[in-house]
Structure 1
Amino acid sequence: MRLFHTSDWHLGQNLHGQDRDFEHGCFLEWLLRQLKLDQPDVLLIAGDIFDTVNPPVKAQERLYDFIVGAHEQQPSLTIVMIAGNHDSGSRIELPAPLMRRLRTHALGRVLWLDDGQLDAERLLLPLPDASGEIRAWCLALPFLRPAEVTGAQLGDNYLRGIGQVHEWLIAAANAKRTPGQALIAISHAHMAGGSVSEDSERSLIIGNAEALPASLFGSTISYVALGHLHKPQKVNGEERIRYSGSPIPLSFSEINYQHQILDVKLDGETLLSVEPKLIPRAVNLQRIGPAPLAEILLQLAELPNTDLLEDLQRQPWLEVRVRLDEPQPDLRYQVETTLQGKAVRLVRIAAEYAGTGRNDGADDNATLIELDQLSPQELFSRAWQDNYGSEVDEQTLKDFVELLQDVQMEREQP
């Protein structure tokens, strides 16, 4: 059996206000070509399909056009997609009856039966090969919110609740499969030891409190297709537990590694190989600085000029990081003037202050931090510090997170 593993598409995402639809369109066209060329049996999409719980119509069209296109060119392909922490589980599942006709399974939530037991049956999906023979079973684990895995049956410990869900689901899968059939898990979670990309990955719960141990996935699981972390990586060096990473760089912190999908091959229950397929970058992200303003302006002046025959949608996104001794009121004007006629698209100017030129009482080496670089928890902690002159205590932060989760779940209702 052959599988493609991808995740964290973040359809509908914008980069400091700039639409990324062109880049997502290029990736999906490339993925369709790879599916046609290699004819895998299964495509796994491990969550964060959309960037927000209420994605724009254009982003939803991208997803469903892709699913229809994949089915038309390869009718035997099975697609499994799960909701991530950026997604609305209800929205992901809403068109599920229609998508099943396209051999696509959409799982957004964990449900419980009337007797309090996990509804494991809906999370276990058969994975047939091109001939229709079931070669594996997929354990689909969408992002588990605290409200879904805590309560009367599981107690109030989030990690213990997640562990119990994994234990029950794996037991149900082992009972269902026959010898020679592999177990494939797809999950959206932060695994302990994973490398996080600065600026672009939203904390799931609090700090590293949500980091899950790899031991949740026992040796009976042949492969674990993970989503959430944007950098491709193995978990604890295990070949069988992988993040595929995002298909495009979602922030300037992600420009220094190659984005990819993973090509997974199995023989029965045995994992044969996991090979990356590198995704061409439709639009480069370019960062200049940090450096003093005079040096920055020289570097900007040396950038290539616009070629009117080139596709403007492929011009690089540009972030400029300027190191200043004191505030520069016309900073943006100087940067934008120097960039006139240049083949780049400016999306962000970040000012970093150093030296003793400040008179506002701030630290000499203070750095301006934009709001979109901070998680809701970090913003709350900073506001608490400013108002009360002390760090927020753990219980108050937990109460804030629970309130935040309640608000997010209310927003998810389509």
Structure 2
Amino acid sequence: MRILHTSDWHIGQRLHGKDRFEEHEKFFSWLLQVLQDKQIDLLLVAGDIFDVGYPSNSALQQYYRFLTLCRESTCQKVIITGGNHDYVSTLNAPKSLLDALNISVIGGVPDSIEQEIVEIKDKNGQLAAFVCAVPYLRDRDIRKGIVGESHEERIEATSMGIANHYKEVADCVEKINTNQLPVIATGHLYMAGVSTSDSERDIQMGNQAAFRWDSFPQNFDYVALGHIHRPQRISNQEQVRYSGSPIPLSFSEKNDQKEVVVIEFMENKLSSVESVKVPLFRRLIGFSGSLDEVASQLQQHHSEGEDTDWAEIHIEEENYDPNLLQKYKELLEMDFDLEIVKPSISFKDRVKGVSELYEEQVALKDLTDQEVFDKLLERSNFEDGAELQNSYQQLLQEMNDKEQ
């Protein structure tokens, strides 16, 4: 049995206002070919299917079109779990229809733990494996708030709640797995020791409730993780992995090699784990230096792929000069063999009201909720910033959970 693990598609994402539709189209075309070439039996998607809770019509059409085309490949079964970006109601809305297509969707924690266990059958209709399809675990799913509890107690309760949920689903599958068939689990969470980018939202107490790989139950043969966009093993464990996102979702991921993971079971044992590189459909690049240096770099650059490269540029000058600002504006209007989507300029001198303006020339839409709050704290003189941070993270998580 061959399984393909992927996650964090973020269909409908816009990068600094630029649509990613074509990149997703090319990824899905490539993925369909991989499903066929690798003779994949089961496709696992570990959360963050969409970038926003209520995706656009084009994003929904793209998603459903791909799922429909999956039926034309060797892939007999698709399992999709919700992530922190996904609204449970959005994913679960077509659940009954997708069930008829042998596509199981678990958008959020269901009413009973048994509903997270999906039976996988082989080509002959024989039971071949079990999937513990655990979605993103929201605060309300794993703990009850207690008046007066400390921040440390909330972190501990969150970690214990995650561990207890996985133990419960593992115990449940153990009772029915009388033939010792493979057990695969999914997860959309923050693991201890991961390498992150700047495009993941903080989850589960601002990522402070990091989960350890050895806290997963021992009867899981493979854990397919989502949420972190850089593909990686956890603590060098081949069987506990983040597949990462298929396209770079921020400029911090511009040098990452994207991949999907193909795992194979033979005679009920995990026999191989293979990283399959995803082609780069559009390059994200960065240039920095003085105005003259960046201008020279832009003029010499040539896009190599089918799609024009997108660039982030940061110009840093010693002294503020209105003429430099005018040249900067003219530079942004020039034609290059790329498209500048994230420009910025700053000055090292401290001319009151000017250098501050340009050092802080970051669009609010480019900042995360946490980064906005951090900047507000920097400008204030609160004595206990740490306590405010803790309270803010709890409030932000509660608001995100209520929206979904």
**Pairwise same-fold verdict (TM > 0.5):** yes
2:298 corresponds in structure 1 to 300
2:139–2:398 Cα contact (<8 Å) kept: no
- Could you tell me how far 1:357 is from its partner in structure 2? 5.2
- Could you tell me how far 1:372 is from its partner in structure 2? 4.2
SS at match of 2:379: helix
2:93 corresponds in structure 1 to 94
Matched, 1:104 2:98: no
2:238 corresponds in structure 1 to 239
- Could you tell me how far 1:299 is from its partner in structure 2? 1.5
1:115 corresponds in structure 2 to none
Matched, 1:176 2:176: yes
Label 1:152 to 1:326 Cα distance change in 2 as closer, same or farther (>3 A): closer
Q: 1:336 aligns with which of 294, 311, 332?
A: 332
Instruction: Measure, in 1, the Cα distance between the counterparts of 2:352 and 2:178.
Output: 72
- Could you tell me how far 1:72 is from its partner in structure 2? 3.1
Instruction: Measure, in 2, the Cα distance between the counterparts of 1:278 and 1:152.
Output: 43
Matched, 1:141 2:139: no
Unpaired segments ≥5 residues, structure 2: 147-152
- Could you tell me how far 1:23 is from its partner in structure 2? 0.2
What are the residue-to-residue correspondences of 1:4-403 with 2, within 5 Å? 4-74=4-74, 77-112=76-111, 119-151=112-144, 157-197=157-197, 199-288=198-287, 290-304=288-302, 314-327=307-320, 328-330=324-326, 332-337=328-333, 339-340=334-335, 342-354=336-348, 356=349, 358-360=351-353, 369-394=362-387, 396-403=388-395
2:347–2:355 Cα contact (<8 Å) kept: no
Label 1:318 to 1:383 Cα distance change in 2 as closer, same or farther (>3 A): same
2:49–2:86 Cα contact (<8 Å) kept: yes
- Could you tell me how far 1:181 is from its partner in structure 2? 0.5
Q: C-alpha deviations, 1:296-349, integer Å up to 9, x for none?
A: 11112223499xxx96xx111111121122444325423224x31x22111011
- Could you tell me how far 1:212 is from its partner in structure 2? 0.8
SS at match of 1:73: coil
- Could you tell me how far 1:234 is from its partner in structure 2? 0.3
Instruction: Measure, in 1, the Cα distance between the counterparts of 2:143 and 2:103.
Output: 29
| RMSD, aligned CA | 2.5
2:149 corresponds in structure 1 to none
Q: 2:399 aligns with which of 392, 407, 413?
A: 407
Instruction: Measure, in 1, the Cα distance between the counterparts of 2:227 and 2:110.
Output: 22
Q: For this pair of structures, how many residues does the alignment match?
A: 392
1:385–1:392 Cα contact (<8 Å) kept: no
1:116 corresponds in structure 2 to none
Instruction: Measure, in 1, the Cα distance between the counterparts of 2:109 and 2:95.
Output: 15
Q: Which amino acid aligns with 1:73?
A: S
Label 1:84 to 1:401 Cα distance change in 2 as closer, same or farther (>3 A): same
Label 1:204 to 1:244 Cα distance change in 2 as closer, same or farther (>3 A): same
- Could you tell me how far 1:210 is from its partner in structure 2? 2.6
Instruction: Measure, in 2, the Cα distance between the counterparts of 1:384 and 1:258.
Output: 35
Q: Which amino acid aligns with 2:113?
A: A
Instruction: Measure, in 2, the Cα distance between the counterparts of 1:218 and 1:352.
Output: 51
SS at match of 2:245: coil
SS at match of 2:130: strand
Label 1:44 to 1:240 Cα distance change in 2 as closer, same or farther (>3 A): same
Unpaired segments ≥5 residues, structure 1: 113-118
2:117–2:133 Cα contact (<8 Å) kept: yes
1:7–1:228 Cα contact (<8 Å) kept: yes
- Could you tell me how far 1:207 is from its partner in structure 2? 3.9
Label 1:253 to 1:169 Cα distance change in 2 as closer, same or farther (>3 A): same
| More off after superposition, 25-34 vs 103-112 | 103-112
Q: Which amino acid aligns with 1:219?
A: Q
Runs of 4 or more consecutive aligned structure 1 residues displaced over 6 Å after TM superposition: none
Instruction: Measure, in 2, the Cα distance between the counterparts of 1:110 and 1:98.
Output: 19
- Could you tell me how far 1:268 is from its partner in structure 2? 3.7
- Could you tell me how far 1:108 is from its partner in structure 2? 1.4
1:384–1:390 Cα contact (<8 Å) kept: no
Q: Which amino acid aligns with 1:343?
A: D
Instruction: Measure, in 2, the Cα distance between the counterparts of 1:27 and 1:305.
Output: 19
Label 1:358 to 1:77 Cα distance change in 2 as closer, same or farther (>3 A): farther
SS at match of 2:120: strand
Label 1:152 to 1:16 Cα distance change in 2 as closer, same or farther (>3 A): closer
